[in-house]
């Protein structure tokens, strides 16, 4: 579904094709929207993945989502199959709605892939959430993992460790050009200034942190660990809360088999609490997770904490370097430059805590 804002405030209207935004193809209007009796559809703020989101009003509140361009149908089908099976055991997950032909993925004339899913109530925690709140979110992630683990588990090295090692190697090659090049002129001035600051930090520190994080990852990456389907991008905006309790989890684009620690690292590192008190926050998160998933407690706890810190700390530097390469070398475009600037500034704050 992507990171959604709060519940949409819309007035119910009679079913009418004019109630649907013109950018929604006709086959999606008839095959999904009208099929479910939806009366009003309006665009929602999406993330930076390239997906499109629409809030839908009708007999039920639903969300229409177009997957990012270039996504393969078999990939979406896999995600739907895995999440649909898990949803039977975990009400925190949304249910995919079926089209006229019984399918959960509808393909438009241009090959766009669309899905219609439950609206999950609630709001994300703030960046300044307490450790107890972050721990509660970890408990929700554990509930999802328990439902995913039913579909099979194994032991293997942590895939996220290898991914980071490979990306660090690629950035070692790409960054010299990126940090020596001025930001593109089309960037807003404030974002361009932030990119310059980020490049300066990377120019000064990357060689050192690349070596140190590569060593830390190598030290934690050899041992086989519990692995099953996990979400892999379950950050602050993807776990929703209502009345202080987790109420839903959204966005499953990155789903694949990996260690549960990959999700815990992504979640924990998206809050200020970790960067202010890494050890205390990890202790709270591991406890909150273990309360819901006892199998996790059988792993050596000291090794688990070391793994989480290595994953989180390296991700901060890799993310900052990625953004500079994307903006300066690759010239990527994003729908909301303000959010990009906010993301870069937050990463700059976070990486200072790792030096």
CATH number, domain at 22? Answer: 3.30.200.20
Q: Are residues 36 and 135 in the same domain?
A: no
Q: Quick: pLDDT tens for 95-147.
A: 999 998 899 999 999 999 999 999 999 999 999 999 999 999 999 999 999 99
Strand spans (E) along 95-218: 106-107, 113-118, 123-124, 154-156
Q: Which domain holds residue 109?
A: 17-120
Single out the residue of 96, 129, 94, 167 nearest to residue 326, CA to CA. Answer: 167
Q: Are residues 145 and 226 in the same domain?
A: yes
Name the strand (E) or helix (H) holding 136.
helix 131-149
Q: Are residues 306 and 336 in the same domain?
A: yes
Sheet holding 225-230, edge to edge: 154-156, 225-230, 256-258
CATH number, domain at 202? Answer: 3.90.1200
Q: What's the structural domain count of the chain?
A: 2
Q: Are residues 199 and 246 in the same domain?
A: yes
319 CB-contact burial (10 Å; exposed 0-12 / middle 13-18 / buried 19+): middle
Q: Cite the DSSP H helix spans in 19-130.
A: 26-28, 73-87
With a threshold of 0.75, does the pTM exceed it?
yes
Q: Are residues 219 and 268 in the same domain?
A: yes
Q: Rg for the chain (alpha carbons), in Å? A: 21
In a domain, 64, yes or no: yes
In a domain, 226, yes or no: yes
Sheet holding 239-242, edge to edge: 123-124, 239-242, 245-249
In a domain, 333, yes or no: yes
Final residue of a structural domain among 86, 120, 154: 120
Q: Quick: pLDDT tens for 308-351.
A: 999 999 999 999 999 999 999 999 999 899 999 999 999 999 99
Which one-letter DSSP state was computed for residue 300?
-
Final residue of a structural domain among 120, 145, 166: 120
Q: Quick: pLDDT tens for 30-73.
A: 889 999 999 899 999 877 888 999 999 999 999 999 999 999 99
- Residue 326 has, within 13 A of its CA and on its CB side, a CA count of 12
In a domain, 3, yes or no: no
Q: Are residues 149 and 224 in the same domain?
A: yes
């Amino acid at each position: 579904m992507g990171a959604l804002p709060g519940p949409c405030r819309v007035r119910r209207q009679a079913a009418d094709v004019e109630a649907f935004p013109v950018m929604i193809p006709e086959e999606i209007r008839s095959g999904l929207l009208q099929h479910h009796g939806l009366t009003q559809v309006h665009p929602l703020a999406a993330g930076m993945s390239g997906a499109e989101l629409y809030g839908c009003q009708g007999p039920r509140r639903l969300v229409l989502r177009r997957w990012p361009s270039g996504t393969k149908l078999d990939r979406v089908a896999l995600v739907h199959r895995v999440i649909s099976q898990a949803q039977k055991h975990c009400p925190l997950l949304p249910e995919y709605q079926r089209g006229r032909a019984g399918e959960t993925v509808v393909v438009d004339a241009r090959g766009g892939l669309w899905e219609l899913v439950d609206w999950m109530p609630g709001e994300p925690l703030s960046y300044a959430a307490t450790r107890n709140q972050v721990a509660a979110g970890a408990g929700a992630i554990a509930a999802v993992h328990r439902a995913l683990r039913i579909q099979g588990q194994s032991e293997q090295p942590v895939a996220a460790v290898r991914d980071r090692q490979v990306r660090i190697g690629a950035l070692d090659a790409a960054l010299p050009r990126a940090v020596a090049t001025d930001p593109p002129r089309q960037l807003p001035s404030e974002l361009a200034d932030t990119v310059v600051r980020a490049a300066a930090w990377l120019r000064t520190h990357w060689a050192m942190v690349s070596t140190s994080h590569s060593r830390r990852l190598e030290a934690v990456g050899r041992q086989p660990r519990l692995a099953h389907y996990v979400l892999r991008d379950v950050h602050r905006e993807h776990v929703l809360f209502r009345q202080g309790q987790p109420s839903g989890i959204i966005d499953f684009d990155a789903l694949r088999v990996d260690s549960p620690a990959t999700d815990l690292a992504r979640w924990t590192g998206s809050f200020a609490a970790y960067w202010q008190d890494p050890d205390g926050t990890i202790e709270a998160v591991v406890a909150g997770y273990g309360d819901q998933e006892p199998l996790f407690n059988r792993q050596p706890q000291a090794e688990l904490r070391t793994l989480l810190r290595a994953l989180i700390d390296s991700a901060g530097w890799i993310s900052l370097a990625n953004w500079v390469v994307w903006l300066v070398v690759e010239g990527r475009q994003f729908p909301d430059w303000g959010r990009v600037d906010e993301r870069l500034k937050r990463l700059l704050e976070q990486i200072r805590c790792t030096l």
